[in-house]
Amino acid sequence: MVVIGEKFPEVEVKTTHGTMKLPDAFAGKWFVLFSHPGDFTPVCTTEFYGMQIRLEKFRELGAEVIGLSIDQVFAHLKWAEWIKENLGVEIEFPIIADDRGVLAEKLGMIPSGASNTARAVFIVDPKGTIRAIVYYPAEVGRDWDEILRALKALQVSDKNGVALPHKWPENELIKDHVIIPPAGTTDAIKDREERKKKGEIECYDWWLCHKSL
């Protein structure tokens, strides 16, 4: 099972958009891979609808999306057809047909004692490094807005060298401010105090300082 900070495993997969090599197919881009327990199931259908109507928001952040289950590709195609005909949205992102469970096993997507994948999400950066992993059980659907928030937060963190608080950018304590990593030396503490006096940053204490971007 892979962990955060590892490279996404190199693998060739069958998808509704043809054969793809991962992570090479998204080289230089962020991508979000998510698994679902099965095609033609109620919760998964609501998730696919929800993802599709937010797909442009992911792309605005420079990220692509790809789905996965251990169903065969014809089932994916028929299900996507059903969604278009009955729910009025066309699934534009590829769906992996991992019918032998090879990638699902590598990524640890199949829970103990289960035959289908859990609701797993992997956020992968442009260098092919896994930056976030989220798991939900089959009976609980995911919130794609939270995945969008996490993706944006990772990008802001990388660009600015900061951390992001709970529920950023709508945190209850510091609103849309970002958190400055804690000081590691006495000189850094003094620097924080000077910056606070100048109004450059705000602090509850030297180890909890924040600022606007």
Query: Three-state SS for 163?
Result: strand
What distance in Å separates the CA atoms of residue 75 and residue 40, rounded to the nearest whole number? Answer: 8
- Among 13, 22, 32, 44, which one carries the catalytic annotation? 44
Give how far Cα 30 sits from Cα of 40, 41, 127, Å: 28, 28, 8
> Which residues pair with residue 67 across a beta bridge?
34, 95
Q: For 125-163, b where at least 16 C-beta lie within 10 A, e where not — what string?
A: beebebbbbeebebeebbebeebbbbbbbbbbbeeeebe
The question of whether 209 is a catalytic residue gets the answer no
Residues forming the active site? 44
